[in-house]
Amino acid sequence: MKNAYKNLTADERSIAMQRLTALWAFTESGLGGVMHALQVPFTGLLVGGMAVIMISMIAEISNHNYKQVLKSALIVLIVKAMVSPHTPFTAYIAVAFQAMIGYLLFRLMKINFISILLLSIIAMLESALQKILILTLFFGQSIWKATDSMVTLLVKQIGFTAQHGSYWIVVVYLCIYILGGFLIAWITYKSIKDFYTDKKTNVTVGNIKLFSPNQKQPIIKNKYKKLWVFIFLMLSLSAILFLFATDKKQGWLEVIKTISWTISAIIIWYLLIGPLFTKVIKSYLKKKQNRYSTEVLQILSFIPALRQLTTYAWQFSKASKGFARWGTFVSTLITATLTYTEPVVEK
């Protein structure tokens, strides 16, 4: 793919890299909350795919200096640690993994639809598999035994038989993420291609209809929400295993085993493994922070504007319908991020 930004000066290219890195950092630390407030459908998929879009855009606009992807990823992780200090270590690993895969793919295959598609699918599968592994870690084999029992019962109701229903559910789940990977790849490629057009509009705060200062945005208490999800799943699994057990004694043993495993896994994860790995990662990022202090401060100062630009981009994309609106939203957000100018204050 030829470079749409080949005529940029070194200073302009540097600013573009800074803006895109800031958008990536915002994606990892605050975009989800804004999109939930705007009631954007399928927020989780789009937020997860934004990393792929940013990696591809940075690789393209950096004049194919693919090491810029790794540098930007490191800055994003530093900002993420500062803005969201309670982020689990798995989120840091996901960002680093996606950046490394993008770097390797683009070095080997250059930037084209195939390399973008591979990056997108790998990133989506990594996200899906991580969730499956965490579920297995917290609930052990009980979750798959319960799923098999439920699938067998449901299929039996319609006159069929099925074995290993949990495997089929996992396959369908992974296929959904793969389809999401195709969608994200299309949006990414479209976003890059949009820069071949001359339809660029400079955006200022004055163009944007913002949330009013007194308007409260929904606050999601993630910790309590996750706790209730864990409790609900644990009780549901226990009930299913008890009901489908061969006898009451076996049922109670399954219930005790499930509850014991889950409580032990949560204690080990949140009190030992999580804090240990998070401490190691943050210690490494802190050592790098001084080196990139200027870039980090510039990004932190730009994040408030990105919240406004996200609102602007979603409002602007209203004319598009369905999944096409996602493409319009992302392209508009990237263009607005790159062309944004501070409003002139009249004296």
| Lowest mean per-residue pLDDT among 40-49, 61-70, 189-198 | 40-49
What's the whole-number average pLDDT of the chain?
77
Residue 109 has what pLDDT?
94
Looking at the predicted structure, is the pLDDT value of residue 120 above 80? yes
Residue 121 has what pLDDT?
95
Confidence of residue 33 (pLDDT cuts 50, 70, 90): low
Residue with tokens 């396959």: 171
Looking at the predicted structure, is the pLDDT value of residue 217 above 50? no
184-201 pLDDT per residue, tens: 999 888 888 876 564 555
Amino acid symbol at 202: N
Residue 117 has what pLDDT?
96
Confidence of residue 243 (pLDDT cuts 50, 70, 90): low
How far out from the chain centre does Cα 281 lie? 19
Residue 220 has what pLDDT?
44
Looking at the predicted structure, is the pLDDT value of residue 336 above 60? yes
Looking at the predicted structure, is the pLDDT value of residue 332 above 80? yes
Gyration radius from the chain CA atoms? 23
Confidence of residue 1 (pLDDT cuts 50, 70, 90): very low
CB distance 217 to 37 below 8 Å: yes
End-to-end Cα spacing for the chain:
46
CB distance 288 to 77 below 8 Å: no
Confidence of residue 2 (pLDDT cuts 50, 70, 90): very low
154-174 pLDDT per residue, tens: 666 666 666 767 788 888 889
Residue 39 has what pLDDT?
58
| Percentage of the chain lying above the pLDDT 90 cut | 19
d(CA 155, CA 162): 7
Residue 105 tokens read as 């793919």
Residue 9 has what pLDDT?
73
**304-342: b or e for each residue (b if 16 or more CB lie within 10 Å)?**
ebbbbbbbbbbebbeeeeeeebbbbbbbbbbbbbbebee
Residue 218 has what pLDDT?
42
d(CA 118, CA 115): 5
In 3D, which of 107, 23, 31, 3 has the Cα closest to residue 72?
23
Residue 170 has what pLDDT?
86
Looking at the predicted structure, is the pLDDT value of residue 21 above 90? yes
How much of the chain is in helix, strand and coil states, percent to nearest 5?
80, 0, 20
